[in-house]
Amino acid sequence: MLLLSGGMARAATIAITVSDLAFEPAVAEATVGDTIEWRNVDFVGHTATDRSGQWDVALPAGKTASIGMTTPGVMSYFCRFHPQMTGIIRVKPKL
């Protein structure tokens, strides 16, 4: 029996690759409940640091780190070591 209705979406993991001093994709879309996962494939460490100070994720070289998206909105973040590295996460409310 199929119980999924059209409006139901499972929580997803959105992958952002950190490579060559850049977040890819630079603009990511998520829904509340989703997880954002950064994969640093560079040989240097980075951070994903929310400009409003809500979160600060360390991304050591070659490592993966993730956080859950709990509130809707548009979040702008950067790397504390390389401030030219910037990204945006658009979080939609859960329907």
The verdict on 46 binding Cu ion (CB under 5 A) reads: yes
Residue type, 68: G
Position among 39, 63, 82, 90 found at the interface with Cu ion (CB under 5 A): 82
| Residues 59 and 45 sit within 8 Å (Cβ to Cβ) | yes
Stretch binding Cu ion (CB under 5 A), from 4-12, 61-69, 73-81, 86-94: 73-81
Residue 5 vs residues 31, 40, 47, 55, 64: alpha-carbon distances, Å:
17, 36, 38, 33, 33
Q: From the CB of 93, what's the least distance to Cu ion, in Å?
A: 30
Give contact residues for Cu ion (rule: CB under 5 A).
46, 79, 81-82, 85
